[in-house]
């Protein structure tokens, strides 16, 4: 399964600069609103040191890491829900992503204009929230009108649907995002077809200056306090630093550069880790002489579901999974010795796959 994250934010907050640094695609970056007219898609590989360990042990012909798609979506302004700026394009594009990476400006620079006239991360966040909430309300109201007509005719399913839609409507009208509603599975099902914008999980990226990358600043403190009730994560990233890292090819040079700022890893790595955690994702591996490969699944997936990520036939005809832990692979070096030591587990359909498992699937179709 591929992970698709949409990078959003007001114009001139550093979205395209961050996107350029994160991906192998290049979006035009300029000091004026709407320089990103069409959504730019960049595919990046997910860094995972466990792949490097497996590569050394197995010596495969190729190594395939898992990937994330980053979509740089055109800037949003106040009134986008009514078609201002590039609002309609923005709102259509954001429906297609799994998670939202909301970039918020948390740096002062008089040379870079701000559409609202001054740096205020709380204001910036609320502008985008409000526009998305308004659009979600429109979607709710349209469906609610239909469901209410059916409910009046005695449709029991429609009555439950109306109750669920009303819950989300009340939250949105109160200025809350749809994801704040403690909804039951049935209530979520009632709005699933609407692809609500504010129901998508979000990570807030505080784009800071180089001096603030370690401890943040007054802007990041205000933002963190504002989103505390959401339980959302705020990741400090300096797009300027990430841009410089992106130009470096030597791993040692990158490490030395990061050390100068007191960092152990790039903002990209922290953002990827936060994205996986947000969406409850984990990684398992397949390892053979042809290839070593990482696969992304949901935490809690059972072996047949994990097999299905490789191919639907693997899930349909699942017989068993042979599971090796990385620590055992490191200790015994080869599959033969792992088997001899009794360290290869044979698991059935109820096995819950663990992060880092190395798996072989047996199936019959």
Give the residue extent of every domain in the chain. Answer: 3-44+66-119+199-278, 128-198, 300-363
> For 67, phi and psi rounded to 5 degrees?
-130, 160
| Radius of gyration of the chain from its Cα atoms, rounded to whole angstroms | 23
Rounded to the nearest 10 degrees, what angle do helices 239-246 and 15-22 cross at?
A: 30
Which CATH homologous superfamily contains domain 128-198?
A: Obg-related GTPase Ych/YyaF, coiled-coil domain (1.10.150.300)
Percent of the chain with pLDDT over 90: 63
Q: Is 17 annotated as a binding residue?
A: yes
> So what's the architecture of 3-44+66-119+199-278 in CATH?
3-Layer(aba) Sandwich (3.40)
Q: What does the block give as tokens for 310?
A: 């490789």
Q: How confident is the model at residue 31 (pLDDT cuts 50, 70, 90)?
A: very low
pLDDT at 64: 94
Q: Is 289 annotated as a binding residue?
A: no
Ranges assigned E (strand) in the chain: 3-8, 40-45, 62-64, 67-72, 99-105, 202-207, 234-237, 281-287, 291-298, 318-324, 345-347, 358-363
- What mean pLDDT comes out for the span 268-297? 94
- What mean pLDDT comes out for the span 2-17? 85
pLDDT at 12: 81
Which CATH homologous superfamily contains domain 300-363?
A: Beta-grasp domain (3.10.20.30)
Q: Is residue 302 predicted with pLDDT exceeding 80?
A: yes
pLDDT at 89: 61
Structure pTM? Answer: 0.83
Percent of the chain with pLDDT over 70: 88
- What mean pLDDT comes out for the span 27-56? 70
Q: Is 14 annotated as a binding residue?
A: yes
pLDDT at 258: 93
Summarised one tens digit per residue, pLDDT across range 67-122 is 888 888 765 656 555 655 555 566 677 788 899 999 999 998 887 766 666 789 99
């Amino acid at each position: 399964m591929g992970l698709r994250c949409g990078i959003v934010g007001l114009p001139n907050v550093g979205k395209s600069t961050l996107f350029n640094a994160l991906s192998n695609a290049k979006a035009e970056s300029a000091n004026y609103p709407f320089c990103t007219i069409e959504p730019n898609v960049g595919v990046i590989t997910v860094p995972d040191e466990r792949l490097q360990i497996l590569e050394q042990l197995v010596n495969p012909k190729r190594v395939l890491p898992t990937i994330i798609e980053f979509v740089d979506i055109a800037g949003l302004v106040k009134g986008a829900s009514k078609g201002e700026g590039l609002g309609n394009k923005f709102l259509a594009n954001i429906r297609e992503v799994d998670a939202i990476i909301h970039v918020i400006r948390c740096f002062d620079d008089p040379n870079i204009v701000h559409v609202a006239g001054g740096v205020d991360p709380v204001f910036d966040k609320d502008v985008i929230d409000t526009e998305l909430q308004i659009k979600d309300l429109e979607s709710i109201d349209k469906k609610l009108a239909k469901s209410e007509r059916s409910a009046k005719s005695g449709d029991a399913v429609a009555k439950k649907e109306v109750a669920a839609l009303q819950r989300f409507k009340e939250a949105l009208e109160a200025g809350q995002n749809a994801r704040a509603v403690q909804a039951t599975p049935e209530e979520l099902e009632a709005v699933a077809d609407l692809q609500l914008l504010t129901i998508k999980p979000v990570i807030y990226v505080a784009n800071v200056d180089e001096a603030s990358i370690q401890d943040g600043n007054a802007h990041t403190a205000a933002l963190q306090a504002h989103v505390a009730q959401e339980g959302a994560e705020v990741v400090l990233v300096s797009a300027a630093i990430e841009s410089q890292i992106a130009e470096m090819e030597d791993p040692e040079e990158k490490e030395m550069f990061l050390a100068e700022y007191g960092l152990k890893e790039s903002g990209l790595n922290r953002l990827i880790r936060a994205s996986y955690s947000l969406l409850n994702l984990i990684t398992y591996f397949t390892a053979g002489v042809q290839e070593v490969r990482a696969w992304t699944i949901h935490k809690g997936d059972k072996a047949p579901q994990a097999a299905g990520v490789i191919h639907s036939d693997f899930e349909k005809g699942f017989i068993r999974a042979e599971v090796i832990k990385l620590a055992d692979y490191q200790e015994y070096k080869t599959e033969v010795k792992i088997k001899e030591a009794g360290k290869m587990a044979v698991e059935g359909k109820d096995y819950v796959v663990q992060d880092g498992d190395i798996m072989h699937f047996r199936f019959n179709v």
